[in-house]
Structure 1
Amino acid sequence: MKVRSLGALLLTGALVLLPATAAQADTIRAQQWALDALDAERAWATTKGRGITVAVLDTGVDGTHPDLEDNVLKGKDMIGFGARQGDKAWARHGTNMAGIIAGHGHGPGRADGVLGIAPEAKILPVRVILEDGDKSRTKARNTRGTALADGIRWAADHGADVINMSLGDDSESAHADAREDAAVQYALSKGAVVVASAGNGGEKGDHISYPAAYPGVIAVTAVDRYGARASFSTRRWYATVSAPGDDIVMAGPDREYYKGWGTSAAAAFASGAVALVRAAHPDLGPAQIKRLLEDTAEDSPSGGRDDSFGYGFIDPVAAIAKGTEIKPAAAPAYPKKYFGQGPSKQEPGSSTSSWLGLAAGALGAGLLVVATVLWRTRRRT
């Protein structure tokens, strides 16, 4: 069965589901190659993210999912309309991302289901976009809105240590939004580390994606299980690090498990890794953690950095270890300039872009393409 392609801004295809198949209890875990790639077991010898709150700015999160129960805090809906909890077009993408970050599994010994990179971190859900299939998308498309900017500020004011934005816009007609930029700078000044997906435009012109391109954001590109750049992953000057983003197992609010791809997943893995680093070194500021991830990344490109991988593949174990050498410092204000070449050196035919807040109500450049349902989980009592 072919998965329809997804646009940079609008989701043009529905989720593709194959019949659920029987599976052994460890089937899901056996397919979570990303945890091995990130050397999660070694990182967990130090911390599993306890005490850290990761805000997931997305389509909502199903806090009743057995893999997330007790890890999801009371959040905020910045939209106020559209699908509601229990509807089919609600919280799919957000729940996918939350599971990657802080899933703890379920069942006896929590041996079943999805395990996140920071399974003891808390998720703070902030709904800032609508799912594909939401009947209110037409309404949202005609509304400029400030959902993303407001959501960033709300998260920063309500205890977020990390802000994950597996979303963006890399359409040719979009532009940077001063309100979003200011909100990012506000969050950084409050001590929140801000992470975003670099974009899924690698095969469509590598157009610039915001919020990934705002100064101070940890922008994450995607690699496959072999460490190669995922073909869809956007190549741009703002790339900070890379993380797993292909053939990723995810938990859905319908209690199904899926496989999918996208820089959305890569950003979620990076946010979980940041949660581990923050748990180990709570006094380090956002700029210090960003630099720490850059300095400790493995498989660094020739010259130290490139637009495909940033500084290399994120290495939470190395970052946690090196963090002991860093003295906490006052958080610097990020200058209003770009890192690397910047847009003045952009490729012919590309353009700057922005996240449209409510305007599109889609998953945007960080969009995760869901390919296959793996199996349906049944809660055990």
Structure 2
Amino acid sequence: MTRKARKNTGLGGARRTGVLATLLAASFALVPPTTAHADGIRAQQWALEAMRAKEAWQTTKGEGITVAVLDTGVDAQHPDLAGNVLAGKDMVGFGAGRGDRAWARHGTAMAGIIAGNGHGPGNADGVMGIAPEAKILPVRVILEDGDSARGKARNTRGNALAEGIRWAADHGADVINLSLGDDSKSAHPEATEDAAVQYALKKGSVVVASAGNGGEKGDHISYPAAYPGVIAATAVDKYGTRASFSTRRWYATVSAPGVDVVIADPDRKYYEGWGTSAASAFVSGAVALIRAAHPNLAPAQIKELLEDTARNAPTGGRDDSRGSGFVDPAAAIEQGGKLKPEGLSSAAYGDKYFGSGPDIPDEDSSTGWAGPVAGGLGGVLLIGAVVLWRGRREPRHTTDGDPDY
């Protein structure tokens, strides 16, 4: 499907005054613990069935594919990620470390969505990702909301995202997941970020980003999702209905689960989260499966393939709310030998998913979404923003060693 041309808003010179934020969970409130065992989590992962993961897994589970997660860091010791996390890079160079509650929460959640492999007998416990045999390359480019070093990062690490994208592309990333963005009123393109994205695409890395959580706050353009060539993921619920917080813009590529998403946490508890962060991670997992099945496809071909094989397509083929429809990795794998699939139809998946669904409550709030415990000991997760203010740029001061993140 032909995509609308990207807007040229003048990349040179301007400095963004908004924030770069992760677009899922940032703060949490504990509630009384539940006695539910972790293996109950799998039953709550509605996204696996909705995305027809088992059908895709008949071909591949993502073996041989590296997905870079540019985020707040990833807990490589989480049991659901055991053996699936490579040595990465800390582009911030300071901030909270292992054992601190302001460390690697959002990044670990995204890594679990992409490449979680559960744990316990038969890996039946915990979170299962869309591409459970893919490897995660963690690149820390942003700090968690509760990190006391955010102010320092605001003043000194404004280029961390651009540097992280280039580093990931140079270190074997087949897919680069960006579950973050600046969708403030002042958001605008950054020349260094756009150049980094184009660099990664030319090196063969598929770049996926969150479309933005501004659906109830003006639908402001979100970057990096709006950069040319990026696959922008919008969020839907299990009925295929656009999440009220999901940004509606021309760059929307496909939709993916972004409501009631089960996520893993470094505290070894499980939560439910909301946000286009999750949608981006699900799409990155889908891309990992497609790349494993068809390693010679270029990023632009994979983007087109996702669009042309999406299910539950909007009237007219696409819209700004859900792009071309709901991502379907199994269909994309099946049609992967075609550069531009012809005559594809949306695959029906029964009434369980993408039926009429409930009415969207009027009282939904983009700043106070909360969900019940997903399993194990834990609580609800309030959705907020992990921020890294981007202001004055200074040279990077990091080492080549592998930090603990």
Corresponding residue for 2:111? 98
Q: Deviation per CA, 1:100-129, whole angstroms, max 9, x where unpaired? A: 000000001110000000000000000000
Which of 214, 222, 225 is 2:235 aligned to? 222
Structure 1 pair 25/180, CA: closer, same or farther in 2 (3 Å)? closer
Corresponding residue for 1:374? 374
One-letter amino acid of the structure 2 residue matched with residue 170 of structure 1:
D
Matches within 5 A, 1:105-124: 105-124=118-137
**TM-score relative to the length of structure 1:** 0.84
Determine helix, strand or coil for the equivalent of 2:42. helix
Distance in 2 between the 1:274 and 1:298 partners?
A: 16
Determine helix, strand or coil for the equivalent of 2:30. coil
2:101 is the alignment partner of 1:88: yes
Matches within 5 A, 1:1-381: 14-143=27-156, 145-326=158-339, 371-376=371-376
Does the aligned pair in 1 maintain the 2:213–2:246 contact within 8 Å?
yes
Distance in 1 between the 2:147 and 2:137 partners?
A: 22
One-letter amino acid of the structure 1 residue matched with residue 77 of structure 2:
T
Determine helix, strand or coil for the equivalent of 2:70. strand
Corresponding residue for 1:335? none
User: What residue ranges of structure 1 are gaps of 5+ in the alignment?
Assistant: 1-6, 328-365
Structure 1 pair 144/60, CA: closer, same or farther in 2 (3 Å)? closer
Determine helix, strand or coil for the equivalent of 2:156. coil
Corresponding residue for 2:401? none
Distance in 2 between the 1:168 and 1:79 partners?
A: 16
Distance in 2 between the 1:319 and 1:368 partners?
A: 35
Structure 1 pair 289/13, CA: closer, same or farther in 2 (3 Å)? closer
Does the aligned pair in 2 maintain the 1:262–1:369 contact within 8 Å?
no
Alpha-carbon distance, 1:144 to partner? 5.5
Alpha-carbon distance, 1:13 to partner? 6.8
One-letter amino acid of the structure 2 residue matched with residue 150 of structure 1:
E
Q: Deviation per CA, 1:232-258, whole angstroms, max 9, x where unpaired? A: 000000000000000000000010100
Does the aligned pair in 2 maintain the 1:263–1:368 contact within 8 Å?
no
Alpha-carbon distance, 1:136 to partner? 0.8
User: What residue ranges of structure 2 are gaps of 5+ in the alignment?
Assistant: 1-17, 341-365, 378-405
7-16 vs 295-304, greater mean Cα deviation: 7-16
Structure 1 pair 19/188, CA: closer, same or farther in 2 (3 Å)? same
Corresponding residue for 1:350? none
Distance in 1 between the 2:316 and 2:66 partners?
A: 35
Distance in 1 between the 2:20 and 2:196 partners?
A: 21
One-letter amino acid of the structure 1 residue matched with residue 230 of structure 2:
V
Q: Deviation per CA, 1:146-165, whole angstroms, max 9, x where unpaired? A: 10000000000000000000
Structure 1 pair 197/77, CA: closer, same or farther in 2 (3 Å)? same
Structure 1 pair 13/95, CA: closer, same or farther in 2 (3 Å)? closer
Determine helix, strand or coil for the equivalent of 1:26. helix
Determine helix, strand or coil for the equivalent of 1:118. coil
Structure 1 pair 323/313, CA: closer, same or farther in 2 (3 Å)? same
Structure 1 pair 243/368, CA: closer, same or farther in 2 (3 Å)? farther
Does the aligned pair in 2 maintain the 1:261–1:368 contact within 8 Å?
no
Does the aligned pair in 1 maintain the 2:102–2:144 contact within 8 Å?
yes
Alpha-carbon distance, 1:137 to partner? 1.3
Distance in 2 between the 1:133 and 1:38 partners?
A: 33
Distance in 2 between the 1:230 and 1:54 partners?
A: 26
Does the aligned pair in 2 maintain the 1:265–1:368 contact within 8 Å?
no
Alpha-carbon distance, 1:300 to partner? 1.2
Does the aligned pair in 2 maintain the 1:8–1:200 contact within 8 Å?
no
Does the aligned pair in 2 maintain the 1:101–1:272 contact within 8 Å?
yes
Does the aligned pair in 2 maintain the 1:97–1:264 contact within 8 Å?
yes
Structure 1 pair 129/221, CA: closer, same or farther in 2 (3 Å)? same
Corresponding residue for 1:349? none
One-letter amino acid of the structure 1 residue matched with residue 291 of structure 2:
R
One-letter amino acid of the structure 1 residue matched with residue 105 of structure 2:
R
Distance in 1 between the 2:207 and 2:20 partners?
A: 21
Does the aligned pair in 1 maintain the 2:95–2:148 contact within 8 Å?
yes
Task: Provide the aligned C-alpha RMSD in A.
Answer: 2.1
Alpha-carbon distance, 1:141 to partner? 2.6
Distance in 2 between the 1:179 and 1:135 partners?
A: 27
Distance in 1 between the 2:200 and 2:29 partners?
A: 36
Does the aligned pair in 2 maintain the 1:17–1:373 contact within 8 Å?
no
Alpha-carbon distance, 1:302 to partner? 1.3
